[in-house]
Amino acid sequence: MRKIPFVSALLITALCLSGGVRAIAETAVSAESAIVISGDTGEVIFEKNADARMLVASTTKIMTALVVLENSSPDEAVIISPESVVIEGSSMYLKPGESYTVAELLYGMMLVSGNDAAHALALHVGGSVEGFAELMNAKAEALGLRNTSFRNPHGLDAEGHYSSARDLAVIMREAMRHELFRRVTNTRSITIKEIAYYNHNRLLGMCEGVNGGKTGYTMAAGRSLVSSCERGGTSFIVVTLNDPEDWRDHGTLYDWAYGAYEYKTLVSLWEYRRQEVISGLQSDVGIAPGRVLAALLPRGAEAELRIELPGFAFAGIRAGERAGPIIASFEGRELGRVPLCYMEDVPVGDGIRLSFREHIGRGLALAGRYGLYNYGFYPF
């Protein structure tokens, strides 16, 4: 498999070694704005001017596809209107009066960046371009995007139509949750109504692991590119805006990301332990994590694990109840927490006499266990 020449790889490596794993100098990437995030968690591992409001050209169509997928079915029929076929720019060459499915138009929009397909889908789902733009902006608001505003479904330059590298990465990550979007954006070619369409995303097949994305270009916006990549079960998303070297930069950034980071299991289900029990029919109880915790870390780095658990528990325990959390952190930043859960019932032993202090302690423990009181061992 031929790979794109990664001429900035050595520069990036040197900068990482000299300035920390996140410190890629802006000069290593030719984009005006760029970002790399984990496709699994959304964590940002590199950014350059990532919140700048930019013209984004046809990368707009990622949001168009997302809104269409959430508001229609793939097999719905769409009758092409005369207004759709006269939209300027790239086209899948629709004809008025013809019928296409939503899925077919998604292929035409994402592979060859058909502005006519985007317009037809907008009319079908939103009733008008303005109505569809309202749906796009509502979705942007729901995703918490702060630097995005859409005026049309295709990305042709318009007043008040913009996004940012960070926001596009969030949109791409959300779109990749949809199986049909993943299939469409990873398709290299398809024939619809006897016309062959070939994906404009040159990274497919050229850069190891790339499994989707969207190109974009207008003279005002420059070259825009959003892509997704998966290697060894770990995924990243790269966005570059106004980047004359976008193919190279995406390949460089992916090679750097996979070389510098790894997904590590921090807490597994096998981390079983036992805790002393007071006033029970047995002297101890099994405790194990309620779920697995994994996180993206610099290669060779180790997370700090802290267990918040009292030295003993009072009887009256039921299997599945929370005993306390395991908290994982790295360089002072919390990566996540996993509840430790009791593995078995431990009833109170008959005839066991408790001191006044033990009665109080048992009451506080039970209250904390059921969320009625937090006495320091249950930080949820």
Q: Looking at the predicted structure, is the pLDDT value of residue 357 above 70?
A: no
Q: Looking at the predicted structure, is the pLDDT value of residue 185 above 90?
A: yes
| Cα 214 to Cα 225: distance, rounded to the nearest angstrom | 6
Quote the pLDDT of residue 290. 87
3-state secondary structure the chain: CCCCCCCCHHHHHHHHHHHCCCCCCHHHCCCCEEEEEECCCCCEEEEECCCCCECCHHHHHHHHHHHHHHHCCCCCEEECCHHHHCCCCCCCCCCCCCEEEHHHHHHHHHHCCCHHHHHHHHHHHHCCHHHHHHHHHHHHHHCCCCCCECCCCCCCCCCCCEECHHHHHHHHHHHCCCHHHHHHHCCCEEEECCEEEECCCCCCCCCCCEEEEEEEEECCCEEEEEEEEEECCEEEEEEEECCCCHHHHHHHHHHHHHHHEEEEEEECCCCCEEEEEECECCCEEEEEECCCEEEEEECCCCCEEEECCCCEEECCECCCCEEEEEEEEECCEEEEEEEEEECCCECECCCCCCCHHHHHHHHHHHHHHCCCCCCCCCCC
Q: Which residue has the higher pLDDT, 53 or 369?
A: 53
Condensed to tens digits (0 to 9), the pLDDT of residues 66-101 reads 999 999 999 999 999 999 999 999 999 999 999 999
Q: Which residue has the higher pLDDT, 232 or 363?
A: 232
Q: Which residue has the higher pLDDT, 176 or 20?
A: 176
Average pLDDT over residues 28-47: 94
Say which CATH topology domain 268-369 has.
Peptidoglycan synthesis regulatory factor (PBP3), Domain 2 (2.60.410)
Q: Please pick, among 48, 61, 139, 214, the residue that the annotation labels catalytic.
A: 61
Of the candidates 340, 208, 372, 347, the one whose C-alpha atom is nearest the C-alpha of residue 268 is 340
Q: Please pick, among 8, 30, 84, 113, the residue that the annotation labels catalytic.
A: 113
Q: How many Cα neighbours within 13 Å face the side chain of 242?
A: 15
Quote the pLDDT of residue 9. 45
Residue ranges per structural domain of the chain? 30-263, 268-369
Quote the pLDDT of residue 367. 53
Which residue has 């984990």 as its token pair? 38
- Lowest-confidence pick of 160-174, 195-209, 298-312: 298-312
Average pLDDT over residues 253-274: 87
pLDDT band at 348 (very low <50, low <70, confident <90, very high): confident
Quote the pLDDT of residue 7. 41
pLDDT band at 359 (very low <50, low <70, confident <90, very high): low
Phi and psi at 12, nearest 5°, equal -60, -45
Quote the pLDDT of residue 316. 86
Highest mean pLDDT range out of 17-21, 281-285, 366-370? 281-285
Residues linked to residue 356 through DSSP beta bridges, in sequence order = none
Q: Looking at the predicted structure, is the pLDDT value of residue 374 above 70?
A: no
Quote the pLDDT of residue 263. 87
Edge-to-edge strand list for the sheet holding 273-278: 304-307, 322-330, 333-342, 284-289, 273-278, 312-314
Task: Verify whether residue 61 is a known catalytic residue.
Answer: yes
Q: Looking at the predicted structure, is the pLDDT value of residue 59 above 80?
A: yes
172: left (phi over 0), alpha (psi -120 to 50) or beta: alpha
Q: Looking at the predicted structure, is the pLDDT value of residue 350 above 90?
A: no
Q: Looking at the predicted structure, is the pLDDT value of residue 289 above 50?
A: yes
Q: Please pick, among 30, 33, 38, 58, the residue that the annotation labels catalytic.
A: 58
Average pLDDT over residues 241-262: 95
Task: Express as a percent the part of the chain with pLDDT over 90.
Answer: 68
Condensed to tens digits (0 to 9), the pLDDT of residues 91-145 reads 999 999 999 999 999 999 999 999 999 999 999 999 999 999 999 999 999 999 9
Work out the mean pLDDT of the chain and round it to a whole number.
87
Q: Which residues touch 300 (CB under 8 Å, ≥6 apart)?
A: none
Task: Verify whether residue 139 is a known catalytic residue.
Answer: no
Judge if 30-263 and 268-369 fold alike in CATH terms. Answer: no
Average pLDDT over residues 282-305: 90
Superfamily for the 30-263 domain: DD-peptidase/beta-lactamase superfamily (3.40.710.10)
Quote the pLDDT of residue 298. 92
